[in-house]
């Protein structure tokens, strides 16, 4: 056996063990770029798992039925993100995958992650997205609070994406800090995880009447009761709750831990520790925006993403 230790321009070292002389185009697992060696190129797929025309370089995370990988597109020579779902683990896995692909393929907006393609390998289905180095808002909050201006900026562009999605009759239903991504280069906001998005006029919903889906702290009362019957104003509530978290570190209703009954009763009674109690130095006008977005009665919230976006724009002008 022969051992080769190559070094990429990014500084990463790549170790290859092969019985033959290395005459391959090796891919760096860190940055996804090629490390060329002398001699004619040969197939390197034996060093990496492959789906379609993509090499899977490393896992970026997993959850439930799916795992996301950093991949390398052999056609475009670009890094990509690939979400792979095992359809053998759940009878609804294929339908959920088809729904997610359908939703993503209908949405083309600079603040929504872009779908590049999809396919199937055996019992696994996958779709390919742009790979964007960066971090989620949840990651940011683990290290500290953004400024008021930064929090409003993130909420504004989240709403811009939702305004577009709502115009296509798509409700996200799981807006939260972990599903809002900030790119590393220019901190562009990108909405992630449309796996439970709902087509407003879809009669073939995968959600049963009375079923609850979403993340409890960021869910409107009506979504808590029945996720199938929500409209776009549930997303507006979730943006308000996410803004609440960005401004004070705590999600609304955090005082109840993860006790579903207590959280439900607090939502029903519209009783929780408010933003000003959590962080008294937040401008009152910003608090007003959050409170209106999080109104218990959907009719008392901002009625469109555009309306809330305009309210946030006014606040940005005063705090920046």
Name the least confident of 115-124, 135-144, 222-231.
222-231
Is 214 in contact with 241 (CB distance < 8 Å)? no
Is 242 in contact with 249 (CB distance < 8 Å)? no
45-83 burial code (b ≥16 CB/10 A, e <16) = eebbebbbebbbbeeeeeeebbbbbbbbbbeeeebbbbb
Q: How far apart are CA 167 and CA 232, in angstroms?
A: 10
Same domain, 120 and 152: no
Q: Residue 120 annotated as binding? A: no
Of 131, 149, 181, the domain-final residue: 131
pLDDT-based confidence at 90, cuts 50/70/90? confident
In whole angstroms, what separates CA 107 from the centre of its chain? 14
Element (H, E) at 58: strand 54-63
The number of domains in the chain is 3
Same domain, 224 and 95: no
The pTM assigned to this predicted structure is 0.79
pLDDT-based confidence at 86, cuts 50/70/90? confident
pLDDT-based confidence at 149, cuts 50/70/90? very high
Q: What are phi and psi of 237, to 5 degrees?
A: -60, -45
Q: How far apart are CA 147 and CA 190, in angstroms?
A: 19
Same domain, 212 and 267: yes
Q: How far apart are CA 232 and CA 171, in angstroms?
A: 6
**What is the mean pLDDT of the segment spanning 249-267?**
90
CA distances (Å), origin 280, targets 131, 245, 248, 276, 320: 39, 14, 9, 5, 19
In whole angstroms, what separates CA 246 from the centre of its chain? 16
pLDDT at residue 300 greater than cutoff 80: yes
The partner residues of 51 in beta bridges, in order of sequence, read 54
**What is the mean pLDDT of the segment spanning 153-168?**
97
**What is the mean pLDDT of the segment spanning 203-228?**
66
Same domain, 123 and 258: no
pLDDT-based confidence at 93, cuts 50/70/90? confident
Same domain, 208 and 254: yes
**What is the mean pLDDT of the segment spanning 161-175?**
94
The partner residues of 4 in beta bridges, in order of sequence, read 16
Same domain, 212 and 238: yes
Instruction: Identify the pLDDT of residue 20.
Output: 60
Instruction: Identify the pLDDT of residue 320.
Output: 67
174 is a catalytic site residue: yes
Is 198 in contact with 230 (CB distance < 8 Å)? yes
Instruction: Identify the pLDDT of residue 63.
Output: 74
If you ran DSSP here, which 8-state letter would residue 15 be given? E
Q: How far apart are CA 142 and CA 252, in angstroms?
A: 17
**What is the mean pLDDT of the segment spanning 72-82?**
89
**What is the mean pLDDT of the segment spanning 142-166?**
96
Q: What CATH number does residue 117 fall under? A: 3.30.200.20
Q: What CATH number does residue 217 fall under? A: 1.10.510.10
Active-site option among 174, 186, 259, 270: 174
In whole angstroms, what separates CA 181 from the centre of its chain? 6
Q: Mean pLDDT score of the chain, rounded to an integer? A: 83
Both structure tokens of 264: 């439900």
Same domain, 173 and 65: no
The string of pLDDT tens digits covering residues 115-129 is: 899 998 888 899 999
Same domain, 172 and 263: yes
The string of pLDDT tens digits covering residues 171-184 is: 998 999 999 999 98
Same domain, 174 and 303: yes
**What is the mean pLDDT of the segment spanning 195-211?**
46
The string of pLDDT tens digits covering residues 33-70 is: 766 444 444 455 556 788 888 999 999 888 777 889 99
If you ran DSSP here, which 8-state letter would residue 46 be given? G
Is 309 in contact with 156 (CB distance < 8 Å)? yes
Same domain, 38 and 55: no
Across 7-11, 17-21, 239-243, the highest mean pLDDT is recorded for 239-243
Same domain, 194 and 121: no
Of 97, 131, 165, the domain-final residue: 131
Both structure tokens of 150: 């930064």
Of 66, 99, 131, the domain-final residue: 131
Same domain, 215 and 235: yes
- Its domain, for residue 92, covers 50-131
pLDDT at residue 296 greater than cutoff 60: yes
């Amino acid at each position: 056996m022969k051992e080769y230790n190559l070094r990429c321009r990014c500084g990463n070292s790549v170790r290859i063990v092969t019985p033959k002389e290395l005459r391959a185009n090796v891919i760096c697992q860190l940055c996804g770029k090629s490390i060329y060696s002398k001699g004619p190129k040969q197939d390197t797929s034996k060093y990496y798992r492959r789906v379609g025309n993509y090499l899977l370089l490393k896992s970026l995370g997993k959850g439930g039925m799916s795992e996301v990988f950093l991949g390398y597109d052999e056609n475009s020579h670009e890094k990509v993100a690939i979400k792979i779902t095992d359809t053998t683990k759940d009878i609804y896995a294929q339908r959920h995958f088809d729904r997610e692909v359908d939703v993503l393929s209908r949405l083309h907006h600079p603040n929504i992650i872009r779908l590049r393609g999809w396919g199937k390998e055996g019992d696994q289905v996958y779709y390919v997205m742009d790979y964007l180095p960066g971090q989620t808002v949840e990651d940011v909050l683990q290290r500290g609070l953004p400024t008021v201006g930064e929090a409003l900026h993130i909420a504004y562009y989240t709403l811009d994406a939702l305004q577009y999605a709502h115009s296509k009759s798509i409700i996200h239903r799981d807006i939260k800090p972990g599903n809002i991504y900030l790119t590393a280069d220019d901190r562009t906001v990108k909405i992630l995880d449309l796996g439970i998005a709902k087509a407003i006029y879809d009669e073939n919903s995968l959600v049963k009447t009375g079923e609850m889906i979403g993340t409890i702290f960021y869910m409107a009362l009506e979504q808590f009761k029945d996720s199938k019957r929500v409209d776009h104003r549930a997303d507006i509530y979730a943006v308000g709750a996410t803004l609440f978290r960005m401004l004070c570190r705590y999600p609304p209703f955090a005082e109840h831990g993860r006790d579903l009954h207590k959280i439900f009763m607090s939502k029903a009674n519209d009783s929780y520790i408010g933003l000003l109690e959590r962080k008294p130095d937040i401008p009152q006008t910003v608090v007003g925006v959050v409170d209106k977005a999080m109104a218990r009665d959907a009719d008392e919230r901002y009625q469109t993403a555009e309306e809330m976006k305009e309210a946030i724009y006014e606040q940005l002008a005063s705090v920046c």
